[in-house]
């Protein structure tokens, strides 16, 4: 059982408790546990099997949660989860996947109308029965019907998995294959090697010595649920997570061409084949051939394949046929950003709002990563579910940060905790803190957390007004999407980017796996317009700092270089940029 499966139990317990209108602190405890578990870089199952007591070392995991993790791993079930499902039908949880229907609303719909499926919700909305529910009306029915259509569209494409699910699964599988004596090369290809935000399946390419039992090793992997097919050079399995994985055994001399071909994308490969043809060559997964003679030019390395058709090696993240071949011809490929370039995280939550660790604990974790700074951005009061701060609580937090910085300075530590807030952008475009409070912060992160169904012109105007105040330094998760569960809200990104440029506002690339927002297309547009990007994690736990990996690779897909990203700057330069932007 992987961490995502374990986390799901706790997230669903939190939802079920909230549907039942239980104690909000209990709800928050389970939800935070789910977030912590989802972000852990190590397997909980392996920890429990080795030593159950090792769970005690995980920040934010108390005795009660500890016991439930052990129960889930050992039995595949959780008593609290099972008991709650006896009181609340599991179909009610499905309602939460409809944008705009939170746990409280789902509970109300179930209590007042007995609605426990999305189909029943749609029927009730079309029959105009929702308008009699407190807090709902005719307009709400229209919004819900629109959200149900979005839900259906998302469900129809549910065969794809988030990058954060597929990437660690593929990495572990590849390590499993590398451990087989006789194996020479193991590479993960496909859309995963291009770091797309969703992945259809895992492609693993292998070269080996003759007689190496690759297929036995592949199909006997402990995480395999079903073996779909097993051959001499290709096999396919379904993992317990539902992910499909394929392995191909290749000739060593064809490995370079094969890794290029199976990495894709399809449109990139077509363009390369057309180019090769004009040069009298034929390019395929088996190699590069002279078209007239059929002679194979054996290339073991991918770089040699590109060189054979007159191009430098093109990084996998760029291979979408969006101008990368033309840039390569001209010697104008970008020098893409790397993880080591990031000097700090500019979107960090603590237990003052909906995080699970203290300011000092988050700072210690960031220092251990080699960062120079973090920006504390706890929510404002409008985000009630996140225990958001009002002005007085924020000022108290600022004093705590000042005290911590003084302590660090006395200890000779150059690390700096910056004072910030994730200020909610209200429906009218105003910010959820007074100007007097905002002026005291080092950096203000503005964000939309409600009203996602606004018409495009209204949502665009709302964001533009907030960015025009002169108080916002960074616009967080600019399109509001949640991969696989919520479509981006309608907004004119061209206009938002133009406004950000005008007022010196950075746009965030939120690295949280469900978001990866901005996407690669919008990132490249921002780069072309000269708008700076902040690659931050939206960390709610020390373990969430690991998510920066997904942000960096998404940035690479958007052609970003070190100079395009604000938090590659040292502290002094960063502070000047923020001051100038305000």
Element (DSSP H or E) covering residue 100: none
Alpha-carbon gap, residue 52 to 148, rounded angstroms: 43
Question: Where in the sequence of the chain do the CATH 3.30.210.10 domains occur?
Answer: 254-330
Q: What would the pLDDT profile of 321-351 be if each residue is shown by its tens digit? A: 999 999 999 999 999 999 999 999 999 999 9
List Cβ neighbours of 17 (8 Å cut-off, separation of 6 or more).
23, 26, 27, 30, 84
Query: Are 478 and 508 in contact, with CB atoms under 8 Å apart?
Result: yes
Q: Which pair of tokens denotes residue 113?
A: 């109308």
Six token digits for residue 376: 């504390």
Q: How many CA atoms lie within 13 A of 215 on its CB side?
A: 15
- Yes or no: say if 155 and 485 are a contact pair by the CB < 8 Å rule: no
Pairs from 211-220 (Cβ < 8 Å, separation ≥ 24): 211/182, 212/180, 212/181, 212/182, 212/183, 213/180, 213/182, 214/177, 214/180, 214/183, 214/247, 214/249, 215/247, 215/249, 217/176, 217/177, 217/180, 218/177, 218/247
Cβ atoms of 493 and 522 closer than 8 Å:
yes
Residue 546's pLDDT band (cuts 50, 70, 90) = very high
Higher pLDDT: 153 or 208? It is: 208
Instruction: Summarize pLDDT for 106-141 with one digit per residue, the tens.
Output: 888 988 899 988 999 999 999 999 888 887 888 888
- Cα(435)–Cα(433) distance, rounded to whole angstroms? 7
Pick the CATH number of 3-156 from 1.10.287.90, 3.30.980.10, 3.40.50.300, 1.10.150.110: 1.10.150.110
- Report pTM: 0.84
CB 562 within 8 A of CB 386: no
CATH code given to domain 254-330:
3.30.210.10
CATH architecture of the domain with residue range 161-249: 2-Layer Sandwich (3.30)
Convert the pLDDT of each residue in 33-73 to its tens digit: 888 887 776 788 888 888 888 887 787 778 889 899 999 99
CATH 3.20.20.140, the chain: domain bounds: 339-581
Fold of the 339-581 domain: TIM Barrel (3.20.20)
For the chain, where do the domains classified as CATH 1.10.150.110 start and end?
Answer: 3-156
Cβ neighbours for 362, distance < 8 A, ≥ 6 positions apart: 348, 350, 355, 374, 376, 539, 542
Chain region(s) in the chain for CATH 3.30.460.10: 161-249
**Please, how many CA atoms are within 13 Å of residue 299, restricted to the half-sphere of its CB?**
23
């Amino acid at each position: 059982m992987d961490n995502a499966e374990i986390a799901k139990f706790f997230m669903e317990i939190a939802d079920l408790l909230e549907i039942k209108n239980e104690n909000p602190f209990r709800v928050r405890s389970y939800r935070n546990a789910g977030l912590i578990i989802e972000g852990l870089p190590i397997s909980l199952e392996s920890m429990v099997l080795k030593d159950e007591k090792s769970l005690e070392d995980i920040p934010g995991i108390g005795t009660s949660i500890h016991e439930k993790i052990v129960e889930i791993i050992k039995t595949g079930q959780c008593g609290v989860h099972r008991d709650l499902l006896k009181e609340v039908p599991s179909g009610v949880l499905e309602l939460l996947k409809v944008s705009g229907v939170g746990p409280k609303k789902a509970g109300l719909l179930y209590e007042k109308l007995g609605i426990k499926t999305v189909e029943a919700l749609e029927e009730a909305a079309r029959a105009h029965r929702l308008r009699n529910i407190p807090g709902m009306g005719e307009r709400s029915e229209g919004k819900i019907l629109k959200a149900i259509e979005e839900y259906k569209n998302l469900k129809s494409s549910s065969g794809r998995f988030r990058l954060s699910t597929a990437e660690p699964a593929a990495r572990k599988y590849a390590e499993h294959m590398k451990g087989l004596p006789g194996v020479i090369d193991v590479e993960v290809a496909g859309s995963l090697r291009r770091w797309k935000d969703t992945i259809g399946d895992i492609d693993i390419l292998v070269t080996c010595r003759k007689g190496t039992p690759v297929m036995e090793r592949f199909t006997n992997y402990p995480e395999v649920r079903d073996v779909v097919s097993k051959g001499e050079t290709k096999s396919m399995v379904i993992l317990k997570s539902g992910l499909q994985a394929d392995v191909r055994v290749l000739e060593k001399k064809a490995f370079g061409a094969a890794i290029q071909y199976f990495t894709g994308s399809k449109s990139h490969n077509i363009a390369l084949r057309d180019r090769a043809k004009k040069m009298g060559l034929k390019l395929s997964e088996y190699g590069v051939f002279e078209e007239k003679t059929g002679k194979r030019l054996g290339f073991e390395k991918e770089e040699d394949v590109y060189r054979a058709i007159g191009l430098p090696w093109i990084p996998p993240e760029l291979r979408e046929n969006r101008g990368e071949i033309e840039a390569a011809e001209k010697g104008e490929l970008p020098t893409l950003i790397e993880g080591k370039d990031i000097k700090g995280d500019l979107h960090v939550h603590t237990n003052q709002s909906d995080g699970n660790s203290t300011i000092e604990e988050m700072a210690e974790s960031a220092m251990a990563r080699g960062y120079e700074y973090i920006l504390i951005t706890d929510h404002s009061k409008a985000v009630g579910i996140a225990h958001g701060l009002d002005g007085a609580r924020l000022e108290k937090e600022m004093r705590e940060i000042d005290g911590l910085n003084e302590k660090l300075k006395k200890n000779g530590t150059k690390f700096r905790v910056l004072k910030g807030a994730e200020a909610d952008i209200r429906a009218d475009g105003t910010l959820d803190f007074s100007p007097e409070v905002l002026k005291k912060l080092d950096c203000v992160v503005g964000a939309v957390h409600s009203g996602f169904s606004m018409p495009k012109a209204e949502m665009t105007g709302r964001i533009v007004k907030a960015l025009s105040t002169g108080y916002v330094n960074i616009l967080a998760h600019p399109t509001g999407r949640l991969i696989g569960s919520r479509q981006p809200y309608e907004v004119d990104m061209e206009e938002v980017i133009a406004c950000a440029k005008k007022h010196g506002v950075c746009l965030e690339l939120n690295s949280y796996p469900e978001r990866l927002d901005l996407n690669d297309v919008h990132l490249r547009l921002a780069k072309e317009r000269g708008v700076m990007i902040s690659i931050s994690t939206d960390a709610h736990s020390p373990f969430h700092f690991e998510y920066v990996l997904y942000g960096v690779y998404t940035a690479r897909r958007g052609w970003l270089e070190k100079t395009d990203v604000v938090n590659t700057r040292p502290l002094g330069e960063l502070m000047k940029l923020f001051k100038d932007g305000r």
